[in-house]
């Protein structure tokens, strides 16, 4: 074992103890993490064409030229005009089967300096062709662009599209007397 067998023994004893005290990186308590988007299991062809959003955007005017929602001194874009998103027959049939009358699709997009949507991605999926319908409608929205010091800047914003169906309830005449 050589001249210093106690040194080998000390290393064997000390190494596991030192490793146990090593701090492993964790997420700070005040930092919230958004899970990456997940497609609805009811997604159809048009839905699959809408790209999923990444788990995080690291936007900054200095970094990628896109203002984040918390960027200092930036006035958010305002919606000038919208286009209605058309509900699909698949969604109507699904709402009748499950008695769910509301579907929500959440998209993230960048409003460019001219007020046009760009870099659209899917944050919350509803499927049934609604993700595709929402994306097609939102691509036609127009905005007053975000500004900083009076100059237009790009800014990423969330856009929620709600679809409502009127789910027919049983007629009061078909209910048993109460």
Instruction: Kindly list the structural domains of the chain, giving each domain's residue range(s) and its CATH number in brackets, ordered by start.
Output: 37-165 (3.30.2420.10)
Tens of pLDDT, residue by residue over 32-42, are 434 578 999 99
Q: State the average pLDDT over residues 65-86.
A: 94
- pLDDT at position 130 is 96
Give me Rg for the CA atoms of the chain: 26
3-state secondary structure of 80: strand
Q: How far is CA 141 from CA 8, 79, 95, 103, 108, in A?
A: 71, 7, 27, 20, 13
- pLDDT at position 11 is 33
Tens of pLDDT, residue by residue over 121-169, are 999 999 999 999 999 999 999 999 999 999 999 999 999 999 987 544 3
Provide the b/e sequence for 119-154 (b: ≥16 CB within 10 Å).
Answer: ebbbbbbbbbbbbbbbbbbbeebbbebbbeeeebbb
Is the predicted pLDDT of residue 20 greater than 60, yes or no?
no
Give the residue among 44, 38, 134, 139 at the shortest CA–CA distance from 87: 134
- pLDDT at position 30 is 36
- pLDDT at position 53 is 95
Q: State the average pLDDT over residues 96-117.
A: 91
**Are the C-beta atoms of residues 138 and 117 closer than 8 Å to each other?**
yes
Average pLDDT, the chain: 78
In the structure encoding, which two tokens stand for residue 121, read together?
A: 């991605």
- pLDDT at position 74 is 97
- pLDDT at position 154 is 98
3-state secondary structure of 111: strand
């Amino acid at each position: 074992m050589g001249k210093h067998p106690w040194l080998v023994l000390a290393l064997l004893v000390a190494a596991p103890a030192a490793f146990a005290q090593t701090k492993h990186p964790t997420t700070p308590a005040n930092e919230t993490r958004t899970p990456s988007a997940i497609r609805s299991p009811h997604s159809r062809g048009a839905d699959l064409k809408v790209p999923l959003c990444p788990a995080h955007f690291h936007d900054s005017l200095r970094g990628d030229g896109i203002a984040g929602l918390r960027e200092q001194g930036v006035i958010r874009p305002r919606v000038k005009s919208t286009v209605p998103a058309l509900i699909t027959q698949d969604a109507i049939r699904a709402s009748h089967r499950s008695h769910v009358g509301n579907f929500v699709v959440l998209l993230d997009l960048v409003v460019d300096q001219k007020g046009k949507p760009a870099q659209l991605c899917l944050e919350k999926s509803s499927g049934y062709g609604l993700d595709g319908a929402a994306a097609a409608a939102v691509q036609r929205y127009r905005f007053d662009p975000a500004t900083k010091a009076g100059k237009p800047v790009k800014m990423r914003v969330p856009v929620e599209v709600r679809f409502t169906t009127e789910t027919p309830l049983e007629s009061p005449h078909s209910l048993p007397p109460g």
